[in-house]
A and B are shown apart, each in its own frame.
Chain A
């Protein structure tokens, strides 16, 4: 990979006597989308607040393109665009006035650039309406527009899919991939729902109780597949179960007219072929759990991702 866009070095946060973040170290590269996953209360938002200077660090350092947030705040934060928690805007101003407000705070943001980000997030239509009338999805987009105004090298989005409908999530996923691939931006996305961001991330870091438990390369994880859990809707279902037992020595459970089974990823097409040759109708085949999710469940040791 290329040089790190953002680097966390043994970042610690103590509030009162409680150690909330216990020494986080990781780095995010240019053009990479990094997923920051953890159950609620694991310290995601606290970490993000420290990355953008809203909270002071109790120990360690955050470096953005080599500039320390502790000692060279202005140079470091110049390269960061962020939404922290909800994208709160001035509800009494229009979308455009909101963007103008933030544009005036950073030298070099032109009117043309404001137009550019508006069309990038597809807000041309409602941009002259009061932000207070925006739906959550529109506010989320305005938030991203605001974060992109000054062409940052690092984009930090805290729970960007929170409260969005599936279409909205897909849209955001597309922007983010585009930003990383075309503009070479390093993107950090936090979420407590792995399934929502898994598909847009290159790497995923798992945080629990203020500690980074694992960092996983997404593509590698899908490549090294072992057994996956599959659900099949087939008819007649009894014969399907019988065939599975006979030909593959798999004991499938039948529930709600569906077969649940554990199988190697590569065997799935073979099973389907066998079913077809036995005249069994197949309506649907679904993977119920990704291998990544399984892995994280194991690491957390309990079912708390969701």
Chain B
């Protein structure tokens, strides 16, 4: 086991010593700061409730919205949901909270698709680059099995995903704290859940929001890893994985008339369908999706392993 950690350390060094990896982090940082500037309007929105008259403010808002609804039918549903939300605050006597770092982190959960993208790039390169650089020859002629080397590379990809995810969380929180301040350590917020509005913990929402996207991240990174191990070339792996990630839902939609559509990977990556209680296809359950995902996952890894350990390393 000792030398597995050495291998892992080597892979991490090779990853983080390169400028291209740092550029990825700089990109994330720039995006988070940009988003903080854009979120300033949300601060102003929440500002008007931050006094003792917040009940009055909410009621005034409701009457105003009702008046507007009578004149204009276009935005009916949005307006009425706003009234519903305001009423929830009034009925439960909850003061709307000011915008803070926690909410900023929660709203930034879409940044996880960027993390997925970067993880795919890393996964696609980690084996293929060794072939491109020619260093694979020196890497493999050591008293270490190829299985172990491949495993160290795969775990290294997962570690990269983890570090990058933590970076998004922490950096968002720090930037959020600087821009908007921190409003308590166990913040709650009123959100529209499947059973209507509810007062929920933001931290719980953060864990759920980020956690659910991890399924797609891990599956697509493993897929890119497999393609790059088969073809020993990173561009194809990046292209294919990103294309599939973006068009996944369209693919499921295209084949939705067929019985076997529920076995498509992308029909099972979105766990939200079980939280909302509306599975994509009939006969699907949480257990079913986990089983399908597990089968894909094992196939991806097994194919990578076979190609990496069994094939000759021949000339260019």
Contact = CB atoms under 8 A, between A and B. Distances in A.
Contacts of B27: none
Contacts of A73: 143, 145
A86 interface: yes
B143 A74 contact: yes
B137 A101 contact: no
Contacts of A151: none
A53 interface: yes
B141 interface: yes
Given A91-B133, A93-B17, A107 B3 contact: yes
B141 A97 contact: no
Given A49-B312, A53-B140, A97-B17, A104 B133 contact: no
Given A84-B141, A86-B134, A55 B6 contact: no
Contacts of A84: 137-138, 141
B315 interface: yes
Q: Which among B7, B17, B139, B141 has the highest number of chain A CB atoms within 10 Å?
A: B141
Interface string A92-108: 11000100011011110
B234 to A, nearest CB: 16
B132 to A, nearest CB: 10
B10 interface: yes
A77 interface: yes
B13 interface: yes
A184 interface: no
A96 to B, nearest CB: 12
Contact of B14 (A53, A54, A83, A101): A101
Interface string A119-150: 00000000000000000000000000010000
A74 B314 contact: no
A172 interface: no
Give the most central of B7, B134, B143, B315: most A CB within 10 Å: B143
A43 B244 CA distance: 42
B3 A105 contact: yes
Contacts, number: 77
B133 A90 contact: yes
A104 B6 contact: yes
Contact of A85 (B3, B19, B137): B137
Given A55-B312, A105-B6, A88 B133 contact: yes
A197 interface: no
Contact of A49 (B6, B7, B314): B314
Interface in A66-88: 73-75, 77-78, 80, 82-86, 88
A89 interface: yes
B26 interface: no
Given A88-B133, A97-B17, A53 B10 contact: no
B4 to A, nearest CB: 11
Contacts of B138: 83-84, 88-89, 102, 146
Contacts of A86: 134
B295 interface: no
A89 B137 CA distance: 10
Interface string B137-155: 1111111110000000000
Interface in B4-21: 6-7, 9-10, 13-14, 17-19
A85 B315 contact: yes
Contacts of B140: 53-54
Interface of A: 45, 49, 52-56, 73-75, 77-78, 80, 82-86, 88-93, 97, 101-102, 104-107, 146
Given A74-B144, A88-B138, A104-B6, 13 more contacts: A49-B314, A54-B137, A77-B141, A77-B143, A78-B143, A83-B138, A84-B138, A86-B134, A92-B19, A101-B14, A104-B9, A105-B142, A107-B3
Interface of B: 2-3, 6-7, 9-10, 13-14, 17-19, 133-135, 137-145, 312-315
What 7 A-B pairs have minimum CB-CB distances, sorted nearest first? A88-B134, A55-B312, A54-B313, A104-B6, A78-B143, A105-B142, A74-B143
17 contacts: A49-B312, A49-B314, A52-B141, A54-B141, A55-B314, A80-B141, A82-B141, A84-B137, A84-B138, A85-B134, A85-B315, A92-B19, A97-B13, A97-B17, A101-B14, A104-B7, A146-B138
